[in-house]
A and B are shown apart, each in its own frame.
Chain A
């Protein structure tokens, strides 16, 4: 599959709050734990050999399950194959928690759900659709599950 590699590499160079050396093990049988600089940028997890400019690889953090495996170890499982997991060893329980948290929240789909939640709630509380002011209220990407558009209700009685 072709992809815009150079642009993705450029993306990996962005500063990120979640960047640390972790022990990383790939999903295949026989993969061993290796020390990698792991970096979270938007919904991608990049991993580098320490002190190398260009990442070895990139993982798209969508449709994945992040789980705590041990006090300091978390895993990211993709597809429906629970066995196909990437493992990450952290230095502390807290660091492990931070990573799990951050990866979950980095997913585009997670953020979209948040947005839809806020939009629905704001509309419920105020009667107004907060996306209207940006002119994006009819964008498919921001519709709720029902797909129905939010209609401003008459709030004169409130």
Chain B
């Protein structure tokens, strides 16, 4: 399959936000040795090259459909990107120190397009709720951002492109009674990111009933092989609980391995006071 590399290269070098960059050692595809590379995370793409100033990009990893995991390795501060479907690979990395390892894991965990899509959907609902509960404040209209930094304003050739955000996600309906503002799908950062990873973590993109999927939103990815089916209204809360159970187990394993004291498993991971 061909990938338009010019486009990808341009994206790497343009001034769009860099979510994280730094040195990591990456295990070679065929060789067992680790090679130090400069990594650049932009959105759901992880680029790597020899060093920061280098123009040539050696490669890119598209971060969709994978999980981030701690892994066993001869190297310290190792972690991996795992695609679990048969025939798909695992990328192994080693960071320079624990802080870097945790920081990278955390950044990679929230890098996928699917994750962002779920987050945006939730934010949109919270925004609508906020408008309802604070009607006098009104809202600022949102016009389509200008994509092209150097070019002219975003095309006005089609009137449909100037869309207010409220209507753009209008199709996404969540039951009127559901309060997604309490959704706890996403990992809180006060738990060490290194511990937030589990082999058994449910993917953040459950298979949904097609009648719930609206027409106009970005396609919420539904892996054909994902066996996880969740009622949309309980999605996030259940995901949090599932994650929570695994995180507690990981914390316990991790503490034991390090010879530290046992972490109280009865403690709730998140205290909402």
Query: Do these two chains interact?
Result: yes
Contact B116–A111 (Cβ < 8 Å): yes
Given A43-B43, A107-B147, A109-B16; A59-B4 close (CB under 8 Å) = yes
CA of A136 to CA of B107, assembled, Å: 10
* Closest residue on chain A to residue B111 by CB atoms: A141
Contact A60–B123 (Cβ < 8 Å): no
Contact B64–A42 (Cβ < 8 Å): yes
Given A79-B7, A134-B188, A140-B19; A42-B123 close (CB under 8 Å) = no
State whether the Cβ of B172 lies closer than 8 Å to any Cβ in chain A.
no
Choose from A40, A107, A141 the contact partner of B219 (Cβ within 8 Å).
Answer: A40
* Closest residue on chain B to residue A44 by CB atoms: B62
State whether the Cβ of A13 lies closer than 8 Å to any Cβ in chain B.
yes
Contact A58–B88 (Cβ < 8 Å): no
Choose from A5, A11, A60, A141 the contact partner of B4 (Cβ within 8 Å).
Answer: A60
Identify the stretch in B70-78, B130-138, B245-253, B254-262 within 8 Å (CB) of chain A at 4 or more residues: B130-138
Contact B188–A63 (Cβ < 8 Å): no
A35 nearest CB across to chain B (Å): 18
Contacts of B123 in A (CB 8 A): 114-115, 118-119, 122, 130
Given A42-B221, A62-B43, A101-B160; A117-B165 close (CB under 8 Å) = yes
Contact B5–A101 (Cβ < 8 Å): no
Contacts of A1 in B (CB 8 A): 3, 5, 8-9, 57-60
Contacts of B11 in A (CB 8 A): 60, 62-63
Contact B219–A111 (Cβ < 8 Å): no
* Closest residue on chain B to residue A45 by CB atoms: B4
Choose from B10, B20, B215 the contact partner of A78 (Cβ within 8 Å).
Answer: B10
Contact B189–A105 (Cβ < 8 Å): no
Contacts of B200 in A (CB 8 A): none
Choose from B64, B161, B185 the contact partner of A101 (Cβ within 8 Å).
Answer: B161
Contact B155–A66 (Cβ < 8 Å): yes
Contacts of B217 in A (CB 8 A): 105
Given A4-B61, A60-B7, A66-B155; A104-B142 close (CB under 8 Å) = no
CB 8 Å contact bits of B1-31 with A (1 = contact, 0 = none) = 1111111111100101101100000000000
Residues of B in contact with A (beta carbons under 8 Å apart): 1-11, 14, 16-17, 19-20, 43-45, 57-62, 64-66, 83, 85, 87-89, 91, 106-107, 110-114, 116-117, 119-120, 123-124, 126-127, 130-131, 133-134, 137, 139-140, 142, 144-145, 147-148, 150-151, 154-155, 157-158, 160-161, 163, 165, 168, 181-182, 184-191, 213, 215-219, 221-224
Nearest first, the 3 closest Cβ-Cβ pairs linking A and B are A135-B188, A2-B59, A108-B43
A-B CB contact pairs (8 Å), 17 listed: A2-B60, A3-B59, A42-B219, A42-B221, A101-B161, A102-B216, A104-B144, A108-B44, A111-B113, A115-B116, A118-B126, A121-B130, A121-B139, A126-B134, A130-B181, A135-B189, A141-B17
